[in-house]
Amino acid sequence: MTTKPALRRYRAPDWNEPIVMEMSRAGRRGVLFPALDPDIADAVGPIDGLLPAALRRARPAALPEMSEPDVLRHYLHLSQQTLGMMGISLFGTCTMKYNARVNEAVTARDEVAETHPRQHPDTLQGTLDIIHRLDLALRELSGMDRFVFQAAGGADAAYTHACITRAYHAARGELETRDEIITTIQTHPCNPATAATAGFKVITLMLDEHGYPSLDALKSVVSNRTAALMINNPDDMGIYNPHIKEWVRIVHEAGGLCFYDHANFNGVMSKIRARELGFDACMFMLHKTFGAPKGGGGPAVGAYGCSAALAPYLPGPLVVRDNDGAYRLEPGQDDGIGRVREFFGNVQQVVKAYAWVRAMGADGIAAASDLSVLANNYMTRRLAQIRGVTVSHPHLDAPRMEMTRFSLETLHAETGIGVVDVQNRMIDFGVDAFWLAHEPWIVPQPFTPEAGEMWSKEDIDYWIAVLEQICHEAYTTPDIVRTAPHHQPIGRIDGAALEDPARWAMTWRAHLRKRAGQTASR
């Protein structure tokens, strides 16, 4: 039996820190630059001639003037206030893994940070070797024939597939008729959004009682107009569609392509391979499943892999390994879609993901998948026992995969406290607020935690205890939850201000102008 952990006495630091422009003092400097060397001045010539008159500023830029210690202390205070909200983060639908500090150190080295993609390939052999080796590793995990890392995140990779779908059907003379892409209501919204952006009509299938659309629903919309199927499996409720091979067969028989959005790969990695299920292409998120940072620690990478039949349409440049072991770059083929982003994409993140794959190895990746599913089902059983919490599709007793979607609909109906209130209260305990759900909310008042493989049982138990405490407060002292957070440097913002441009500003100059106008009107 799990012993309920004691909740820590937590309070985030509050420095009441002014913004940097308010700390500026005229003439204060952090660095004093030496006078220009006469030899350089003679070689360069008059500075006024280096820029056209139309590009010169009429007055100096309004930059903050501060000493180095002032700047250091200011950003240290800001980081302390922000890091006060970074505790146990079971941020669902976006797998949060530990980002090894050694990877940050390696990618900050000149060999990575100071290289340029326009260098001669002979000077980029190490970088190209890592890109190629990660390509090979993801081929093993997916069964695909080629990967590229140009796409900047999952939505960008989904858009890559939408563009490749367009190019593939255009090459076959069928683009005018194949103008529909099928997806489901539980597929990540980037799939229908990118399909629409690429010019396709989107058909969205609803869920049946099993938690996924039926085969009959799919058959009813597949036709000679079908360009592709774009789908997640498992979805964000942790439900795996066991008929997925049949789905692929039906779409293929109609002449369409099949794209596997592997945003939720953590629970099935090493267990399934997209190509063996019949898919023509898939996407992995390096900034989620493969240990590279995301969000403020990003940027992201959507690794896009496809079959040999789709490889001619990939965006270039492509890394090619010759028989002598040397690497060179090839542009995308004439039928290709062109670039979806610049050059090789976010190479630093590729290096970090490659380090994660090599450190884990095949056995480690399989164990991580097992731990992810185990932790998620442990959480599912524990959270379902909390008053006010229900599980999506509660009649389904089969184990969920890497995450489960829960609902606070009962809590909201009985106390008036909703998921946003609970989010705000969680950070009072040093626990990061949970993720709710992608829109539209097909589960009322949703939240979607994901433990993954990296969080300890003690961390998971503490997270559950925090949620249990907040639900208890909702029933006994709801105002504590409704007015949270209480232990953070900021409280709830006035949401009405976001709808009134007179009350917010995007620049310091606009802030001064609007503040002056507000003062004058009083």
* Whole-number pLDDT of residue 137: 98
Comparing C-alpha atoms, which of 347, 259, 255 is closest to residue 306?
A: 259
Range in 3-7, 237-241, 443-447 the model is least confident about: 3-7
pLDDT (tens digit per residue) in 25-47 = 999 998 888 888 889 888 888 87
pTM: 0.88
* Whole-number pLDDT of residue 307: 98
Q: How many CB atoms lie within 10 A of CB 31?
A: 6
* Whole-number pLDDT of residue 2: 66
In this predicted structure, the answer to whether residue 296 has a pLDDT above a threshold of 90 is: no
pLDDT (tens digit per residue) in 186-225 = 999 999 999 999 999 999 999 999 999 999 999 999 999 9
pLDDT (tens digit per residue) in 106-162 = 999 999 999 998 999 999 999 999 999 999 999 999 999 999 999 988 899 999 999
* Whole-number pLDDT of residue 100: 87
* Whole-number pLDDT of residue 1: 59
In this predicted structure, the answer to whether residue 171 has a pLDDT above a threshold of 60 is: yes
Contact (CB, 8 A) for 261 and 191: yes
In this predicted structure, the answer to whether residue 422 has a pLDDT above a threshold of 70 is: yes
Class for the domain spanning 106-358: alpha beta
Instruction: For the chain, give the percent of residues with pLDDT over 70.
Output: 98
Q: Give the type of residue at 113.
A: A
In the chain, residues under CATH classification 3.40.640.10 are: 106-358
> Does the domain formed by 361-482 have CATH 3.40.190.10?
no
In this predicted structure, the answer to whether residue 297 has a pLDDT above a threshold of 60 is: no
- DSSP-derived secondary structure for 4-20: PPPPP--------PPPG
* Whole-number pLDDT of residue 500: 85
* Whole-number pLDDT of residue 302: 93
CA separation for the pair 265, 402 (Å, rounded): 8
Range in 32-36, 382-386, 484-488 the model is least confident about: 32-36
Q: What is the mean pLDDT of residues 328-336?
A: 89
CA separation for the pair 191, 171 (Å, rounded): 23
Q: What is the mean pLDDT of residues 418-438?
A: 93
Q: What is the mean pLDDT of residues 151-174?
A: 95
3-class SS at 125? helix
Contact (CB, 8 A) for 350 and 344: yes
Comparing C-alpha atoms, which of 355, 345, 357 is closest to residue 149?
A: 345
Mean predicted lDDT score pLDDT of the chain: 92
CA separation for the pair 41, 241 (Å, rounded): 70
In the chain, residues under CATH classification 3.90.1150.10 are: 361-482
pLDDT (tens digit per residue) in 489-517 = 888 877 787 888 888 888 888 888 888 87
Phi and psi, residue 418, nearest 5°: -110, -175
> C-alpha dihedral over 419, 421, 424, 430, to 10 degrees?
-70
* Whole-number pLDDT of residue 334: 86
